[in-house]
Amino acid sequence: MNWTIRNVISGDEKELAYIQTESWKEAFKHILSEELLKIYTDKNRSMKMYKRLIDEGIGHGYILEVNGNPHCIAWWVA
């Protein structure tokens, strides 16, 4: 198994949104209502958010890749 951690770059929005929304669906399925979960796991909404963060240089984002495939993300604003 080969893994790397790298800074996010322009064009990573789709992978970031996918990882976030799919993980939230599982993590919050028994915590949030179905209606709220649907709102917060909208991939298009998440892609737009990540594109804005990347384009405006807001925060720090990283992607863990396993065998060249995006696996998990970290993002924070300091």
Three-class SS of residue 15? Answer: helix
Q: Residue 78 pLDDT > 90, yes or no?
A: no
Per the CB < 8 A criterion, the answer to whether 73 and 20 are in contact is yes
Q: Report all structural domains of the chain as residue ranges with CATH numbers, in order of start.
A: 3-76 (3.40.630.30)
CA distance linking residue 28 with residue 78, whole number of Å: 25
Cα of 31 vs its chain's centroid, Å: 20
Q: Report residue 48 CA to chain centroid gap.
A: 11
Query: Quick one: which of 73, 78, 76 has its CA closest to 21?
Result: 73
User: Model confidence over 24-77: pLDDT tens digits?
Assistant: 999 999 999 999 999 999 999 999 999 999 999 999 999 999 999 999 999 999
